[in-house]
Amino acid sequence: MRIAILGGTGEQGPGLALRWAQAGEEVIIGSRQKEKGEKVAIELNQELGKELLRGTDNVTAAAAAEVVVLTVPYSAHVSTLESVKEQLQGKIFVDVSVPLDPENARRVIMPSAGSAAEEAQQVLGSEVKVVGALQNVSAHVLRDINAVIDCDVLVCGSDKDARATVMQLIERLGIHAIDVGPLEAARQIEPITALLIRLNIRHKVHSAGIRLTGLPKR
Amino acid sequence: MRIAILGGTGEQGPGLALRWAQAGEEVIIGSRQKEKGEKVAIELNQELGKELLRGTDNVTAAAAAEVVVLTVPYSAHVSTLESVKEQLQGKIFVDVSVPLDPENARRVIMPSAGSAAEEAQQVLGSEVKVVGALQNVSAHVLRDINAVIDCDVLVCGSDKDARATVMQLIERLGIHAIDVGPLEAARQIEPITALLIRLNIRHKVHSAGIRLTGLPKR
């Protein structure tokens, strides 16, 4: 599947790009500046020892992909969404954003829409299949491509087929994906990131994650 | 240790009472009505086959205990706190409350204090050592005293020694307790209960829980 990772040069983007490329997906790194996207793609290809990734600007990346993943810091959330709104129509959009308090990342300040994912749906309109996922995965663990990812990923979104597609893409990364239902579940999922940052700081690690227990085995 | 469980006749109270009594702690069940507290204690003692528990009203229970645990529905949160405020001064108070949306338990409506636990601190004053804990444990699993509890418990509170005492009490139940730091972490911990209720409904179970990964082994 052709996946664009917007803000792919930031914290979570490169880890996702490398892991999906290694799993055989076609990945396009998007950045605000085309040159930066290209540069990061070259660096990541060097790390892989193969030319699996390409980089460009966010708009070109979004236009070319079937599934578009957003990993920008929350301060760039709405502006990035607006810049690619046209290119996302009819597609699956995966929002990894968390509205962390810029003054204290141990907290969230939830937007008036209820969550970052619901805000994305408002900005993008009803024809975009917005899915919230991957917010709670340690960027640090994700980036170390030899590290095993010891956590689950909660997936929410109002289009059932879009949820299923994203869950499959997550399973391709070797991560167990859990269906949480409608997009408004992002209201409970996004704050968990602040909790994990709090635990990372307190316990002096970069790897805190969650697993769900007590659910039926698949 | 002498533990009072206020609202001990409700959903989570009896399971906690039975398990702590079996672990050798002295447990007093509190209820709004003394007769109801007494009745439930008799029933739970019958289940244990031993007279380990006693029941009374909330005020008497709070006055007699060293550690006081609140498990009432959120609608009775502030009124119960006010009724025992005097008896709690200088003690450890464990708030298990979650401000679930009364219209839809898949959501929370956080109080203006930030969380139910912080609201308790506001109502009770600074001399009460408020600890948030046990909000995310399935009441269903807790109540089945032969069931193994497959989840972690996140513990927050602004008094470090009080947190440590509560963590020890939780470990007495065979549950791994994790120190999350100050009381305001309850803002992230309480919404997880709504997420677990959402998962229980969606996956047709009563046992969803969370475990933390990526933290140092103790």
- Of the pLDDT bands very low, low, confident and very high (cuts 50, 70, 90), residue B173 is very high
CB atoms within 10 A of CB A51: 12
Alpha helices in B23-74 (DSSP H): 34-48, 58-64
pLDDT per residue as tens digits for the range B117-142: 999 999 999 999 999 999 999 999 99
Nearest CA in chain B to A181: B202
- Of the pLDDT bands very low, low, confident and very high (cuts 50, 70, 90), residue B217 is confident
pLDDT per residue as tens digits for the range A55-112: 999 999 999 999 999 999 999 999 999 999 999 999 999 999 999 999 999 999 999 9
A198 and B207 within 8 Å at the Cβ level: the answer is: no
- The dihedrals phi and psi of A17, each to the nearest 5 degrees, come to -60, -50
- pTM of the entire predicted model: 0.96
B216 and A205 within 8 Å at the Cβ level: the answer is: yes
Exposed/middle/buried for residue A216 (C-beta within 10 Å: 0-12, 13-18, 19+)? exposed
Q: What is the DSSP string of A102-152?
A: TTEEEEE---TTSSHHHHHHHHH-TTSEEEE--TTS-HHHHHSTTS---SE
CB interface of B with A, residues 168-187, below 8 Å: 178-181, 184-185, 187
The single-letter code of the amino acid at A95 is D
Nearest CA in chain B to A178: B199
Nearest to A213 among B107, B151, B194 (CB): B151
CA angle in degrees (0–180, nearest 5) for A192-A194-A198: 115
Q: pLDDT value at position B144?
A: 94
- A149 at the B interface (CB within 8 A)? no
* ipTM surpassing 0.90: yes
Q: What is the dihedral of CA B65, B68, B72, B77, to 10 degrees?
A: 120
The single-letter code of the amino acid at B168 is Q
pLDDT per residue as tens digits for the range B49-106: 999 999 999 999 999 999 999 999 999 999 999 999 999 999 999 999 999 999 999 9
Contact (CB, 8 A) for B132 and B110 = no
Angle, helix A116-124 to helix A77-88, in steps of 10 degrees: 40
Contact (CB, 8 A) for A41 and A13 = no
Taking contacts as CB-CB distances below 8 angstroms, the residues of chain A near B158 are none
Q: pLDDT value at position B147?
A: 94
pLDDT per residue as tens digits for the range A125-173: 999 999 999 999 999 999 999 999 999 999 999 999 999 999 999 999 9
Q: pLDDT value at position B204?
A: 97
Q: pLDDT value at position B8?
A: 80
What is the end-to-end Cα distance of chain B in Å, rounded?
24
Mean pLDDT of chain B, nearest integer: 96
- The dihedrals phi and psi of A160, each to the nearest 5 degrees, come to -60, -40
Q: pLDDT value at position B11?
A: 85
Q: Cite the beta strand spans of chain B per DSSP E.
A: 2-6, 26-31, 53-57, 67-70, 92-95, 100-101, 104-108, 129-132, 152-157, 176-181, 209-213
In angstroms, what CA-CA distances link B125 with B82, B88, B89, B163?
A: 11, 10, 8, 17
